[in-house]
Structure 1
Amino acid sequence: GPLQMLWLLFLTLPFPGGSVPVTPAPSPGRESVGIVGGCDVSGWRYPWQVSLRFYDMRLGLWQHECGGSLIHPQWVLTAAHCVEPEDLEACAFRVQVGQLRLYDHDQLHKVAEIIRHPKFNASLSTWGGADIALLRLEAPVMLSEHVNLVSLPPASLRVPARKMCWVTGWGDILDAGGPLVCRWNCTWLQVGIVSWDHQCGHRDFPGVYTRVTSYVPWICRHVPLSPGQTPEDGPFLTLGTYYHPRRPDSPPDGPVSTLAAGFPAPGPGPATVGSLQVLVP
């Protein structure tokens, strides 16, 4: 399906409550279903969204496995469970950037290095899990209006209750690793990484996201910051010290798959993604 966006209303502040073990391994299924409560995205409104690919020998193609976000011309942020098991080498993955319709005119980028958080445990729970990983590309991508970076929040940032935020993906069950972004003073900040949920789209179960602010210092140990910045700086962090000149890009032809979005209702009504969204350490 098309790339989709989901608006998430934070009704409750994140909390370290009840351990609910879940193993969020990417599903082998390829059902094409829309993001619950989502809607198609028009144009390239979320140019940091990437598709993480793994080679499917049966199909003979680089199959979409997870989402991710471009935080530097040469670095992608995603969920650690998307690049499991640990013995998988970087050459097993590819990254597609700037794509509104999945698989439309692929120009895949090779991954040179995978850095999983050392505290990641595949048996995640709301007590923690460190479901976060960095991918270093073999070469920096060229930035344009269709391919650009998302900013990271300062480590001190706290997402207030009832803050409206957005998650994007291709309307598939394989959107883990994708970004949860909120708007602060006209700047998009990535505050979460799609990690797991207990029952997809059920109103009584929260969607669970890795809290990016907890890992900003770790990210900055690996990804170059702009000169003079520290992980505590505000209002946001810009990673990377150079940018490619803009290049003319034309939109892909024909419908293949598109991005989407939506938000859970704060009161009674149809269930969307759930009445509670949780950011975990």
Structure 2
Amino acid sequence: MRIVGGVLLGLALAAGSLASGVGPAGAVVGGARVEGTRFPWVVRLSDGCDGALVASRVVLTAAHCGADTSVRVTAGSSDVRTGVTVGVTAVRQAPGYDPDTQRADWAVLQLDRRLNLRTLAVTPSAAYDSGRFTVLGWGSTREGGPQQRYLRAATVPFASDARCAGAYGGNGFVASDMLCAGRGGVDSCQGDSGGPMVHPDGAGGWLQVGIVSWGNGCGRAGYPGVYTQLSTFSQDIRAAVAALD
């Protein structure tokens, strides 16, 4: 299994493919630029990954990004050149994270100060783990392309566990830990790893249901993107966030 270091949302149709192999996701393919501050809780990490502000001084991202206290976090703007940049003082990786299988692919970062921004709630249950999702990030819009200055978003459809298992076979899909979404031409890709996949909460807001984790190429037909299934880990995540907030 190979992780593509970051995911991004691109306007291209299927943006080509990565070298053969399965790995972390990189860019959002088939998306569009986000205007204004519609998603104020999405943040950019200096290591090339993304994340979500889930408490005033805590960011949720992917464990495979390998963030440490040298990482800087930019928040508060869809334009990474105009956001506020803060440091990281502590990192808590999921206790069950397995870098070989990408199981429990989540981590939380404690920021060096609180941010006065709206935060994103983590789903409390599996009730929102189907339907249509929105995935966000600053990743490149084509294979091997540059990462983006402006945040991008794409709508991705749920892919069943059976479909995902059929696509990846013995290459690491674990239904209890992972959630699949996307279709040919609409997917996450290089530059967006760690970014949030969200679902409407029914009251005008959003719930985070997934973290961009891994996949086979970008927007390849028959290969949906694979996301950390947060409903499985919501209790552990809440405890980790409370310890750092």
Could you state the TM-score of these two structures normalised by the residue count of structure 1? Answer: 0.58
Alpha-carbon separation, structure 2, partners of 1:97 and 1:213: 25
CA contact (8 A) 1:5 1:169 kept: no
- Pairing of 1:133-144 with structure 2 (within 5 A): 133-143=107-117
Q: Which residue of 1 aligns with 2:201?
A: 184
Q: Could you report, residue by residue, the CA deviation over 1:65-124 in whole angstroms, capped at 9, with x for unpaired residues?
A: 10100000010000001126xxxx41x11111012123x135321101010112111122
CA contact (8 A) 2:25 2:191 kept: no
Amino acid paired to 1:184: D
Q: Sequence identity of aligned pairs in percent?
A: 37
How far the C-alpha of 1:224 sits from its partner, in A, is 2.7
How far the C-alpha of 1:139 sits from its partner, in A, is 1.3
Q: Which residue of 2 aligns with 1:94?
A: 72
- Pairing of 1:69-80 with structure 2 (within 5 A): 69-80=52-63
Structure 2: state its 5+ residue gaps.
Answer: 1-7, 12-20, 141-189
Q: State the SS of the aligned residue for 2:84.
A: coil
Pair member with larger Rg:
1
Q: State the SS of the aligned residue for 2:122.
A: coil
Alpha-carbon separation, structure 2, partners of 1:187 and 1:106: 22
CA contact (8 A) 1:151 1:189 kept: yes
**2:46 is the alignment partner of 1:53:** yes
Q: Which residue of 1 aligns with 2:228?
A: 210
Could you state the TM-score of these two structures normalised by the residue count of structure 2? Answer: 0.66
Alpha-carbon separation, structure 2, partners of 1:165 and 1:5: 16
How far the C-alpha of 1:151 sits from its partner, in A, is 1.2
Alignment length, in residue pairs? 179
97, 105, 112: which one aligns with 1:120: 97
Q: State the SS of the aligned residue for 1:158.
A: helix
Q: Which residue of 2 aligns with 1:105?
A: 82
**Higher helix content, 1 or 2:** 2
Give structure 1 regions of 4+ aligned residues with deviation exceeding 3 angstroms: 3-6
CA contact (8 A) 1:5 1:41 kept: no
Alpha-carbon separation, structure 2, partners of 1:66 and 1:217: 24
Q: Which residue of 2 aligns with 1:151?
A: 121
Q: CA RMSD in A?
A: 2.6
